[in-house]
Structure 1
């Protein structure tokens, strides 16, 4: 399990926990001893591990104001209570059978039934950020689920404009926020999937065969550090011109390999191919965006 830190300038993995299934691991002391698992480590659910990582980040002074996650975390009342107690807003996914309070708490209703009652005019188009093939545009609706005065609690609903597929989020904030803020937070959850892909492809996040508690933590920490360094270098690059894509994590890794880790070719040769790759990527991105926007 990983905790990701997402900003407009970049994203990185900042913490990790090794989830040990209760039956196949935590109830087999010989297996735990053989793997070097410390005695004080016991079974913990995934939401409990998430709470540990979030608490550690807050105690370390990491500045953030929002948390998002998938249905495993949205269904955990302890995690939501912890975030509210610390004044951290959240947009956590929940299943379609979740019941929420409406009409000032007088009525409990399933979120999918509630979505069916929303008039067409109440759905608002918003993008939750750029994707590999263009803006990730969806239709969104939000409904107040507060049960107390001055409480800022909502159900956020996302609808796919093509398929009609729905997604649901429980949201809370210590202060009033507009819809587009909740959309941005909910949409940032895809960053964890992108980080897994980038971490595996560029920092070898999954390239290990360790069989011990200590070995896993050492390897994963070094891979996370490598990915964070690449992310920082990427964020420090100046804005690129329209005809060339900005330096990416993958491109910076290629340049580091070419200039530092291998027998170097002339710098002009390496930089020429970097420019060629990024120019081609810029053309491909424009083509994807134009095709998506023409639909």
Structure 2
């Protein structure tokens, strides 16, 4: 245990070196140590009770809630450290819910969260992770501000708007769609010198054409989930320009056939187009060589041209760009069950497309560990800054655990 504490002190000293004051550096390390202690609750009071001579509840509460330190500085140092350790194949965007009983905390509203699988009273945090199959790390966060908290929105709730000052929400913080928060985080993370040329996300982001176009503008490849109703043309489809008769505006090239949904395109290709792929070892015992069950299924990969008004406007009537459509079609199912859209090169092997699409399992693992073991959802403060401080410190604690696992046994770390 003494060696682990020394490792933690060195790790925290590196990440908190940018703090101007020595007491901030001290309480940052103590707070992270508290998050790593055994215990079901990781809010300030129970942590203070377990920290012995460092268990100053008031100092810990002040550090996480009101101390004027910028979490972006810590996140940048964390990203530099974890980029070297993880060697990420992708930047992964995701979001998670923070369930709340009351409505006094910043940005709490009745909204959908996958954490509960329904609309409920919660905060929603959008996160950005460096990920590869063997490890991952959350390096950036945004707190989603619903329209009910935005005074400029027609859906503003006067009670919640009045609560903004008490919660310390910056005056210029308004409602921003989650996909735009994701692009903002990507921009910030790249400004730190983190260069990962692939972005992975679920259909909550992949269905947003503006998100995909934003990645293309940034010259970033993507492999994102999409819903079955997204429309596209087959790759062989070509636009036709009607003859110009010299009157009015010149006609724009259009595709003669209506686009189909991606589900229809895959079904048209047929079950025979599905190929078996295994992409990683799971965490449950099985009959594999290592003793762990291999994750496997059947997949169809097609070249398509995504359709839609926003894409047509972006291409200005030119030929729609080709993309990969990847669909999972298990042998036990009568139709495909999951879909992804990718801008990776046309020669990409099917196994690589599948592995990168499935890399999001690492982020589900991150959330589970941060919530169950490190107190991600246990913050009891109500302020905007307090939330951002807490999730940053939990990310530091999680990164420390990841580094410890990698140092012990890289394969164990991959299996989580």
Q: TM-score range by the shorter chain?
A: 0.7 to 0.9
Correspondence for 1:182: 353
Aligned partner of 1:222 among 380, 389, 393: 393
Correspondence for 1:158: 328
Aligned partner of 2:294 among 135, 156, 161: 135
Are positions 1:119 and 2:270 aligned together? yes
Correspondence for 2:402: 231
CA-CA distance at 1:25 after TM superposition:
5.3
Inter-partner Cα distance in structure 1 for 2:132 and 2:355: 11
Kept in 2: contact 1:2–1:15 (CA 8 A): yes
- Higher mean C-alpha displacement, 127-136 vs 107-116: 127-136
Inter-partner Cα distance in structure 2 for 1:235 and 1:110: 43
Correspondence for 1:6: 131
RCO comparison, higher one (Cα < 8 Å, 6+): 2
Inter-partner Cα distance in structure 2 for 1:58 and 1:114: 36
Q: Secondary structure at the match of 2:294?
A: strand
Inter-partner Cα distance in structure 2 for 1:192 and 1:183: 16
Correspondence for 2:71: none
Give 1:1-295 correspondences, 5 Å limit: 1-24=126-149, 27=156, 28-102=160-234, 103-105=236-238, 106=255, 107=257, 108-133=259-284, 134-146=293-305, 153-164=323-334, 166-173=337-344, 176-238=347-409, 246=412
CA-CA distance at 1:195 after TM superposition:
0.8
Kept in 2: contact 1:88–1:173 (CA 8 A): no
Q: Secondary structure at the match of 1:104?
A: coil
- Choose 1 or 2 for highest CA Rg: 2
- Quote the RMSD (CA, aligned, Å): 2.5
**1:190-210 CA deviation, whole Å, 9 max, x = no partner?**
222111001112221112111
Q: Secondary structure at the match of 2:164?
A: helix
Kept in 1: contact 2:148–2:161 (CA 8 A): no
Inter-partner Cα distance in structure 1 for 2:327 and 2:136: 25
* Count of residues in Structure 1 that have an aligned counterpart in Structure 2: 245
Kept in 2: contact 1:10–1:232 (CA 8 A): no
Inter-partner Cα distance in structure 1 for 2:413 and 2:364: 20
Inter-partner Cα distance in structure 2 for 1:114 and 1:39: 47
Structure 1, gaps ≥5 residues long: 241-245, 251-295
**1:177-219 CA deviation, whole Å, 9 max, x = no partner?**
2222211111011222111001112221112111111111111
**1:13-44 CA deviation, whole Å, 9 max, x = no partner?**
11111011102555343121111001111110
Provide runs of 4+ in structure 1 moved above 4 Å.
146-152, 247-250
- Higher mean C-alpha displacement, 220-229 vs 72-81: 72-81
Judged with a 3 Å threshold, the aligned counterparts in structure 2 of structure 1 residues 151 and 178 are, in CA distance, closer, same or farther, namely farther
CA-CA distance at 1:162 after TM superposition:
3.2
Structure 2, gaps ≥5 residues long: 1-125, 239-254, 285-292, 307-317
**1:212-268 CA deviation, whole Å, 9 max, x = no partner?**
11111111111010001111221222467xxxxx46898xxxxxxxxxxxxxxxxxx
Kept in 2: contact 1:88–1:174 (CA 8 A): no
Kept in 2: contact 1:90–1:171 (CA 8 A): yes
Judged with a 3 Å threshold, the aligned counterparts in structure 2 of structure 1 residues 135 and 25 are, in CA distance, closer, same or farther, namely farther
Kept in 1: contact 2:281–2:415 (CA 8 A): no
**1:66-123 CA deviation, whole Å, 9 max, x = no partner?**
1111111011122111212222211111111111121335441111111211233321
